[in-house]
């Protein structure tokens, strides 16, 4: 079934068209994004149960260009009476005296727009909104109980699920676009305690759609508990450079944190990225082909158009090791004289649009995982990424993983190190890739920040990879 | 508000917390010294948490769920979202606890230094202060984002609270760039409740100076074990371990072994004994009760458990509300003396992290100063991976002070035996 558009957006559409016309009559360029996002978040642990609204938002943002300068106005209330006030607020904002002496202002041309009328919606099998809260909590409680019952050493077992459904309407002089999207994410976490340290293992699931995606959570209970118990015997990492096999989630974190942020083209505008100097050059092993794009995969960051009315793309960022292009929002493309790639995204209507990743992943290779492990003389099998931080300017890597399993003479020894910090220079790591497995998996249970804020839904992943990495 | 109260009455909801928040935000985005975009966000949202008592298997329960009421919703829409929350609350099987009594007071006007001033005027002053440090050619501000925010909050609860307050603050981030000899950048944040222009200029000047130092750092420290000096935001993050582990929710769920009266810094202390207080940065808790500063640690001994009413009740302690800021007395040792013996003084990480569950801390080193053989060598790259459980007995705090919106305490700490993965 197709996700139905929000009744609120449908009801406000005539007023939004009036507002669009009033803005376009006044300014050199104007657009409106209307958003209605609903969702719920459920969580069950040993000692706590919750069923709350998830990240929801309802409101509007106007972007206007006058005499070359851009301004944006986000607001919550739209009535016929408010339209002149909104136009006046934008006018005042463009004229606001906020800039001290000595600082200049950037100017832009209006974007070139092709006439576009679009309406699209994603599919689902079972709408979570049609399920009773009690039914959902019962399913999560059953997962929790299974996890807790597996071993007396389990301190806690958490099962959570959230779903989000949004409708966005984008209007400008040339564009009239509507989309409705729904995704579901979930995860299980097992915790175990040794002395004063709590060790945790986490397994996510995610996808476009509805309740049908929860089935994947069932399979994750046992491996999650086993991993948490394994971690009780973990040792501190011995710093050094190792041959590593990365699981698809760790590959995804490397793709996203280590490289993806470095090709966000608002970073090119600010001279905050090394990538522009490497366009057309080898930045990775010839085995590596990297994609980003809302239409490049079917995952939680899939949409039909971005928050600036640019249709979704499938951008090949790295083609067989060669850096081809970055990804871009509209204003950065105007600054750089390039084409936007459908990556202009906002945390919500109340926030600015930046260049943001969507579904970011490496294409699979042709190797078998067991052969890859067998080829390692001494190294580590990396699992359970926990966090990462970008460094586009210097292409430094910071990724944290919870598990490094020792490999000796091609076999896992059972020895585990945790936690582990991956560091190094991004192209060195990507060029060191010597094998990629023959399947790719994407995961979209988390959010991505720009620096330390502006959280948007993303997915990332790829195949198992073999690379040389500095671990600490 | 009347629509909400009326819908709650119609549904038979007797226990609730209504939090109404209106935010007016003026935002400026700079690329180099050019204003790239001006934004204003005028948004409002009301969250309503409903509480539903019931019994399950002979145990008294209190279910709860939250609904969001948006401006412009009709009475029927308001009732529908509240009805969904009320329905969900019956499945939330948490043991009963009492909602804390709130107070009824007239709304508190903005008491900060930005009170009464137009946001544009304050924005201009803070922007001027930030860029006042940007005077050199070889190191400069690459980009900056400033957010002047005026927020009005009102809380009404079924337990007698009706309070409101207004506050204005500035939050921002900026990136410093030094193009030569190695083209590098560093990232920084700030947050002030008043026009602390001199503090912002000084912070930006220090950030620019450190960026210049990073540009000269070309090698990573050698792999090994180091005495580590951490400062500023990294020290605040490190000490967050004690705040997190003293939370009622962590203790009740057994993620933290802390108990009142425990020597949580350990028994074998050869360094400074840690004293720490939690500082109230908002006048009221989320339940409309007055918030007060709270002594947390005294010479390494846990003096308080903090948190909301639910887990506090389960543990048999008083609810305190949620804290964001800490105060720590400075130590006796001058920074110069802390770094006199060989050590790695780590001043900047890509993202320094402290895991309160495991006690591990670490991150990728963006800039450090290696003090050895009488020399001070800037280093970059590699990673730090330590455990506060191993280090906490040997912490030595600086005499110098560092203050931000959420921290007032020693500028730096020296801890021993931390693993570094480097060259």
Residue B156's domain is classified under what CATH number?
3.30.2290.10
Residues A128 and A265 in one domain: no
- Give the pLDDT of chain B (423 residues) as one tens digit per residue: 889 999 999 999 999 999 999 999 999 999 999 999 999 999 999 999 999 999 999 999 999 999 999 988 888 999 999 999 999 999 999 999 999 999 999 999 999 999 999 999 999 999 999 999 999 999 999 999 999 999 999 999 999 999 999 999 999 999 999 999 999 999 999 999 999 999 999 999 999 999 999 999 988 999 999 999 999 999 999 999 999 999 999 999 999 999 999 999 998 899 999 999 999 999 999 999 999 999 999 999 999 999 999 999 999 999 999 999 999 999 999 999 999 999 999 999 988 999 999 999 998 898 999 999 889 999 998 889 899 999 999 999 999 999 988 999 999 999 998 999 888
State how far the Cα of B135 lies from the Cα of B127, in Å rounded to an integer: 14
Chain A residues near residue B387 by CB distance under 8 angstroms: 236
Structural domain of A98: 7-102+116-231
> Cβ distance B60 to B96 under 8 Å?
yes
> Among A171, A204, A231, where does a domain finish?
A231
Residues A349 and A299 in one domain: yes
What pLDDT was estimated at residue A424?
85
Take residue B240 and report the two structure tokens written for it: 């967050």
Place A451 in a pLDDT band, splitting at 50, 70 and 90: confident
- Please judge whether B420 and A472 are an interchain contact, meaning their C-beta atoms are less than 8 angstroms apart: yes
Chain A residues near residue B255 by CB distance under 8 angstroms: 155-156, 191, 198
Whether residue B219 lies inside any domain: the answer is: no
> Among A231, A251, A279, where does a domain finish?
A231
| Mean local confidence (pLDDT), A81-103 | 95
Residues B71 and B180 in one domain: yes
Tell me the pairing of strands A465-471 and A435-436: antiparallel
- The residue of chain B nearest to residue A418, with distances taken between CA atoms, is B360
Q: Work out the number of other CB atoms within 10 angstroms of the CB of residue B12.
A: 8
**What are the two backbone dihedrals, phi and then psi, of residue B30, each rounded to the nearest 5 degrees?**
-110, 140
Residue B142 touches partner A, C-beta closer than 8 Å: yes
State how far the Cα of B4 lies from the Cα of B78, in Å rounded to an integer: 7
Which residue among A98, A239, A331 sits closest to B223, beta carbon to beta carbon?
Answer: A239
Residues A254 and A155 in one domain: no
Q: Which of B36, B52, B135 to mutate to test the interface with A (most CBs of A within 10 A)?
A: B36
- Please judge whether A106 and B34 are an interchain contact, meaning their C-beta atoms are less than 8 angstroms apart: yes
Place A116 in a pLDDT band, splitting at 50, 70 and 90: very high
- Please judge whether A74 and B389 are an interchain contact, meaning their C-beta atoms are less than 8 angstroms apart: no
Residues A366 and A443 in one domain: yes
- Please judge whether A391 and B26 are an interchain contact, meaning their C-beta atoms are less than 8 angstroms apart: no
Residues B262 and B115 in one domain: no
Chain A residues near residue B67 by CB distance under 8 angstroms: 53
Residues A278 and A216 in one domain: no
The residues, ordered by sequence, that sit 6+ positions from A21 with a Cβ below 8 Å of its Cβ are none
> Cβ distance A78 to B72 under 8 Å?
yes
Which residue among A132, A195, A452 sits closest to B189, beta carbon to beta carbon?
Answer: A452
Number of structural domains (chain B) is 2
- Exposure of A253 in the CB half-sphere (CA atoms within 13 A): 23
Residues A158 and A264 in one domain: no
What pLDDT was estimated at residue A391?
80
Residues A263 and A210 in one domain: no
Residues A218 and A307 in one domain: no
The residues, ordered by sequence, that sit 6+ positions from B30 with a Cβ below 8 Å of its Cβ are A103, B36, B127, B141, B143, B144, B145, B146
Q: Which of A421, A422, A451 to mutate to test the interface with B (most CBs of B within 10 A)?
A: A421
- Please judge whether B223 and A240 are an interchain contact, meaning their C-beta atoms are less than 8 angstroms apart: yes
Residues B97 and B45 in one domain: yes
Residues B18 and B166 in one domain: yes
Q: Which of B42, B183, B214, B307 to mutate to test the interface with A (most CBs of A within 10 A)?
A: B42
CATH value at residue A163: 3.30.2290.10
- Please judge whether A72 and B66 are an interchain contact, meaning their C-beta atoms are less than 8 angstroms apart: no
> Among B214, B241, B265, where does a domain finish?
B214
Structural domain of B182: 2-214
Residue B421 touches partner A, C-beta closer than 8 Å: yes
- Please judge whether A99 and B127 are an interchain contact, meaning their C-beta atoms are less than 8 angstroms apart: yes
Whether residue B280 lies inside any domain: the answer is: yes
Residues A196 and A301 in one domain: no
> Cβ distance A421 to B363 under 8 Å?
yes
- The residue of chain A nearest to residue B35, with distances taken between CA atoms, is A105
Q: Flag whether pLDDT at A393 surpasses 90.
A: no
What radius of gyration, in Å, describes the C-alpha atoms of chain B? 24
Whether residue A2 lies inside any domain: the answer is: no
> Among A231, A264, A284, where does a domain finish?
A231
Residues A212 and A253 in one domain: no
- The residue of chain B nearest to residue A135, with distances taken between CA atoms, is B91
Residues B136 and B79 in one domain: yes
Number of structural domains (chain A) is 2
Q: Which of A129, A156, A201, A389 to mutate to test the interface with B (most CBs of B within 10 A)?
A: A389
Nearest CA to A273 among B393, B184, B372?
A: B184
Whether residue A111 lies inside any domain: the answer is: no
C-alpha distances in Å from residue A105, one per residue of A274, A308, B83, B222: 25, 22, 50, 45
From the CA of A21, how many Å to the nearest CA of chain B? 21
Burial of B82 (0-12, 13-18, 19+ CB in 10 A): buried
Q: What is the pLDDT of residues A213-235, one digit of tens each?
A: 999 899 999 999 999 999 999 99
- Please judge whether B363 and A421 are an interchain contact, meaning their C-beta atoms are less than 8 angstroms apart: yes
Q: What is the DSSP string of B205-267?
A: HHHHHHHHHHHH--SPPPSEEEEEEEEHHHHHHHHHHHHHHTBHHHHHTTS----TT-BTT-S
Chain A residues near residue B38 by CB distance under 8 angstroms: 69-72, 93-94, 96, 98
**What are the two backbone dihedrals, phi and then psi, of residue B110, each rounded to the nearest 5 degrees?**
-55, 125
Whether residue B170 lies inside any domain: the answer is: yes
Residue B259 touches partner A, C-beta closer than 8 Å: no
Nearest CA to A393 among A285, A270, A290, A291?
A: A270
Chain B residues near residue A329 by CB distance under 8 angstroms: none
- Please judge whether A196 and B131 are an interchain contact, meaning their C-beta atoms are less than 8 angstroms apart: no
From the CA of B365, how many Å to the nearest CA of chain A? 9
Residues B240 and B162 in one domain: no
State how far the Cα of A308 lies from the Cα of A32, in Å rounded to an integer: 9
Residues A170 and A189 in one domain: yes
- The residue of chain A nearest to residue B39, with distances taken between CA atoms, is A72
The residues, ordered by sequence, that sit 6+ positions from B139 with a Cβ below 8 Å of its Cβ are B176, B177, B178, B208, B209, B211, B212, B215
From the CA of A393, how many Å to the nearest CA of chain B? 6
- Please judge whether A423 and B143 are an interchain contact, meaning their C-beta atoms are less than 8 angstroms apart: no
Residue B406 touches partner A, C-beta closer than 8 Å: no
> Among B214, B240, B272, where does a domain finish?
B214
- Please judge whether B120 and A96 are an interchain contact, meaning their C-beta atoms are less than 8 angstroms apart: yes
> Cβ distance A90 to B20 under 8 Å?
no
Which residue among A106, A397, A470 sits closest to B31, beta carbon to beta carbon?
Answer: A106
Residues B297 and B182 in one domain: no
Residues B203 and B342 in one domain: no
From the CA of B399, how many Å to the nearest CA of chain A? 30
State how far the Cα of B146 lies from the Cα of B168, in Å rounded to an integer: 13
Chain B residues near residue A351 by CB distance under 8 angstroms: 41
- Please judge whether A237 and B70 are an interchain contact, meaning their C-beta atoms are less than 8 angstroms apart: no
Tokens 């059953």 identify what position? A142
> Among B214, B239, B254, where does a domain finish?
B214
From the CA of B410, how many Å to the nearest CA of chain A? 24
**What are the two backbone dihedrals, phi and then psi, of residue A414, each rounded to the nearest 5 degrees?**
95, -10
Sign, Cα dihedral of B279, B280, B286, B290: positive
Residue B36 touches partner A, C-beta closer than 8 Å: yes
- Please judge whether B257 and A196 are an interchain contact, meaning their C-beta atoms are less than 8 angstroms apart: yes
Q: What is the pLDDT of residues A285-331, one digit of tens each?
A: 999 999 999 999 999 999 999 999 999 999 999 999 999 999 999 99
Whether residue A107 lies inside any domain: the answer is: no
Q: What is the pLDDT of residues B84-106, one digit of tens each?
A: 999 999 999 999 999 999 999 99
Residues A217 and A259 in one domain: no
Residues B278 and B327 in one domain: yes
């Amino acid at each position: 079934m197709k996700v139905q558009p929000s009744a609120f957006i449908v009801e406000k559409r005539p007023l939004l068209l009036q507002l669009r016309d009033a803005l376009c009559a006044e300014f050199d360029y104007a657009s409106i994004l209307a958003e209605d996002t609903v969702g719920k978040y459920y969580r069950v642990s040993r000692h706590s149960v919750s069923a709350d609204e998830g990240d929801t938002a309802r409101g509007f943002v106007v972007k206007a260009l006058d005499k070359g300068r851009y301004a944006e106005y986000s607001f919550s209330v739209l009535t016929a009476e408010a339209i002149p006030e909104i136009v006046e607020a934008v006018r005042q904002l463009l004229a606001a005296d906020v800039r001290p002496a000595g600082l200049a202002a950037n100017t832009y041309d209006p974007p070139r727009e092709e006439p576009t009328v679009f309406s699209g919606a994603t599919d689902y099998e079972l709408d979570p909104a049609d399920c009773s809260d009690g039914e959902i909590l019962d399913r999560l409680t059953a997962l929790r109980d299974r996890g807790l019952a597996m071993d007396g050493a389990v301190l806690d077992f958490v099962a959570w699920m959230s779903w989000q459904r949004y409708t966005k309407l984008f209007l400008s002089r040339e564009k009239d676009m509507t989309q409705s999207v729904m995704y579901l994410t979930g995860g299980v976490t097992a915790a175990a305690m040794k002395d004063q340290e709590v060790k945790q293992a986490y397994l996510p699931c995610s996808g476009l759609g509805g309740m049908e995606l929860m089935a994947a959570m069932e399979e994750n209970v046992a491996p999650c508990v086993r991993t948490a118990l394994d971690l009780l015997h973990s040792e501190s990492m011995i710093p050094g450079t190792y041959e590593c096999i990365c699981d698809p989630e760790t590959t995804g974190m490397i793709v996203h944190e280590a490289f993806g942020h470095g090709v966000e083209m608002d970073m090119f505008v600010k001279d905050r990225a090394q990538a522009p100097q490497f366009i057309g050059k080898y930045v990775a092993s010839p085995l590596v082909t990297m994609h980003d794009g809302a239409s490049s995969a079917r995952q939680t960051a899939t949409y039909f158009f971005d928050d600036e009315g640019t249709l979704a793309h499938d951008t090949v960022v790295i083609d067989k090791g060669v850096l081809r292009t970055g990804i871009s929002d509209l204003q950065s493309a105007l600054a750089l004289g390039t084409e936007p790639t459908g990556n202009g995204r906002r945390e919500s209507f109340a926030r600015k649009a930046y260049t943001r990743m969507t579904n970011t992943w490496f294409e699979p290779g042709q190797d078998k995982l067991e052969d890859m492990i067998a080829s390692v003389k001494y190294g580590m099998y990396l699992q359970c990424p926990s966090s990462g931080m970008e460094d586009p300017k210097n292409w430094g890597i910071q990724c944290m993983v919870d598990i490094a399993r020792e490999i000796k003479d091609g076999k896992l020894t059972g020895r585990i190190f945790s936690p582990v910090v991956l560091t190094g220079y991004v192209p060195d790591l990507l060029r060191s890739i010597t094998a990629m497995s023959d399947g790719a998996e994407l995961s979209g249970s988390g959010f991505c920040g720009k620096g330390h804020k502006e959280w948007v839904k993303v997915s990332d992943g790829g195949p198992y990879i073999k690379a040389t990495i500095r671990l600490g | 508000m009347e629509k909400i109260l009326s819908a709650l009455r119609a549904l038979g909801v007797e226990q609730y917390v209504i939090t109404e928040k209106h935010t007016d935000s003026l935002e400026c985005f700079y690329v180099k010294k050019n204003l790239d975009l001006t934004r204003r966000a005028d948004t409002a949202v009301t969250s309503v948490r409903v509480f539903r008592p019931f019994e399950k298997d002979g145990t008294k329960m209190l279910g709860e769920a939250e609904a969001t009421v948006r401006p412009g919703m009709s009475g029927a829409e308001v009732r529908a979202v509240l009805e969904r929350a009320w329905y969900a609350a019956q499945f939330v099987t948490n043991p009963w606890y009492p909602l804390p009594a709130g107070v009824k007071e007239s709304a508190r006007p903005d008491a900060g230094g930005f009170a009464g001033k137009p946001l544009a005027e304050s924005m201009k002053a803070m922007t001027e202060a930030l860029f006042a440090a940007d005077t050199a050619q070889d190191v400069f501000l690459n980009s900056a984002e400033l957010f002047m925010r005026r927020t009005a909050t009102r809380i009404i609860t079924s337990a007698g609270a009706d309070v409101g307050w207004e506050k204005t603050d500035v939050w921002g981030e900026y990136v410093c760039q030094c193009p030569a000899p190695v083209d590098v950048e560093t990232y920084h944040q700030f947050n002030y409740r008043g026009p602390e222009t001199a503090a912002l200029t000084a912070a930006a000047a220090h950030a620019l100076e450190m960026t210049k130092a990073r540009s000269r750092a070309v090698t990573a420290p050698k792999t090994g074990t180091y005495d580590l000096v951490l400062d500023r935001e990294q020290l605040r993050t490190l000490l967050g371990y004690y705040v997190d582990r003293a939370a009622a929710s962590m203790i009740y769920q057994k993620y933290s072994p802390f108990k009142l009266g425990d020597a949580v810094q350990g028994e074998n202390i050869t360094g400074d004994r840690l004293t720490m207080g939690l500082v109230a940065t908002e006048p009221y808790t989320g339940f409309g009760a007055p918030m007060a500063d709270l002594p947390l640690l005294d010479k390494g001994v846990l003096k308080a458990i903090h948190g909301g009413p639910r887990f506090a009740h389960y543990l048999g302690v008083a609810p305190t509300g949620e804290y964001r800021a800490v105060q720590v007395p400075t130590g006796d040792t001058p920074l110069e003396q802390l770094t006199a013996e060989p050590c790695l003084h780590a001043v900047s990480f890509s993202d320094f992290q402290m895991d309160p569950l495991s006690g591990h801390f670490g991150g990728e080193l963006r800039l450090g100063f290696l003090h050895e053989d009488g020399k001070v060598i800037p280093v970059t790259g590699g990673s730090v991976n330590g455990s506060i459980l191993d280090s906490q007995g040997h912490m030595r705090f600086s005499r110098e002070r560092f203050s931000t919106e959420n921290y007032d305490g020693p500028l730096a700490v020296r801890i021993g035996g931390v693993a570094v993965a480097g060259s």
